[in-house]
């Protein structure tokens, strides 16, 4: 019985001595097993995040491209409508006049274009930044100001409604002044419209080049 107890004690003592070694081996084994698993998980998570980021960036690029394409379509439609309206108005003031419209008709004709310009949305920045809006406003101011005064005076001289005696020389002088002002208005009017068409073509070609690239 005493020998049996001593044997048990020896086994327990041996187990206690071997315990640190067993625990150390188990820890190493656990680390060796877990590290590849954890590393693989981290790589998978990182790949997932990168893929989602790439997909989102591609989505943003697609949205931007679609928006730019839509804006180009809207700009093209505005240019088309504006140029068509200009063409409808332009025939009222021919380059070479065989009967220039009375100044009372001319002023509304010129003024009718300004609301068309201001009514644009997508092409207005190009009209304004290029200075076309300012030049057209200056032309309108001249038409409704000096030109209107000159043509009214010329007409009054020709019809003798000024109230003062008018000589043939006066009539000839004012007829010449009126003709020069009318020629100036015709030339500036069509010059501005030509500039507008050139601006439209430049804008549309630039957008076409951007779309192609």
Q: What is the CA radius of gyration of the chain?
A: 44
Look at residue 192 in the predicted model and tell me its pLDDT.
92
List pLDDT tens digits, range 78-133.
999 999 888 888 877 776 655 555 556 677 888 888 888 888 999 998 899 889 99
Beta-carbon count within 10 A of 150 CB: 19
Q: At how many degrees (to 10) do helices 168-212 and 132-142 cross?
A: 170
pTM: 0.63
- Domain of residue 131, residue span: 69-212
- Cα gap 27→7, rounded to integer Å: 30
pLDDT at position 65 is 79
Q: For 91-167, where are the alpha helices, taking DSSP H only?
A: 103-111, 113-118, 124-129, 132-142, 148-159
Q: How many domains does the chain have?
A: 1
Q: Does residue 160 fall inside a structural domain?
A: yes
Report in angstroms the alpha-carbon separations of 171 from 143, 202, 209. 22, 46, 57
- When pLDDT is cut at 50, 70 and 90, the band that residue 16 belongs to is very low
Question: Does 15 fall in a domain?
Answer: no
- Does some domain include residue 75? yes
User: pLDDT (tens digit, 9 = 90+) per residue, 150-201?
Assistant: 888 888 888 888 777 888 888 889 888 888 888 888 889 889 999 999 998 8
Asked, for residue 23, whether it belongs to a domain, the answer is no
What is the four-CA torsion angle of 180, 183, 189, 195, rounded to 10 degrees?
A: -100
């Amino acid at each position: 019985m005493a020998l049996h107890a001593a044997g048990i004690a020896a086994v327990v003592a041996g187990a206690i001595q071997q315990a640190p070694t067993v625990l150390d081996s188990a820890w190493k084994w656990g680390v060796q097993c877990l590290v590849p698993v954890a590393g693989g998980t981290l790589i998978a998570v990182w790949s997932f995040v990168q893929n989602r980021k790439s997909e989102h960036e591609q989505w943003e690029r697609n949205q931007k491209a679609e928006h730019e394409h839509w804006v180009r379509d809207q700009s093209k439609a505005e240019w088309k409508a504006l140029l068509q309206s200009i063409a409808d108005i332009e025939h009222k003031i021919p380059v070479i006049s065989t009967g220039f419209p009375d100044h009372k008709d001319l002023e509304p004709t010129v003024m009718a274009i300004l609301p068309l310009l201001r009514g644009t949305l997508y092409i207005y920045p190009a009209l304004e930044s290029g200075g076309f809006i300012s030049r057209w406003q200056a032309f309108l101011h001249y038409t409704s100001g000096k030109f209107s005064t000159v043509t009214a005076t010329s007409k009054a001289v020709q019809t003798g409604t000024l109230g003062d005696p008018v000589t043939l020389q006066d009539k000839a002088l004012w007829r010449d002044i009126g003709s020069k002002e009318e020629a100036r208005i015709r030339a500036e009017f069509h010059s501005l419209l030509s500039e507008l068409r050139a601006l439209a073509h430049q804008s549309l070609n630039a957008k076409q080049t951007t779309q192609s690239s």
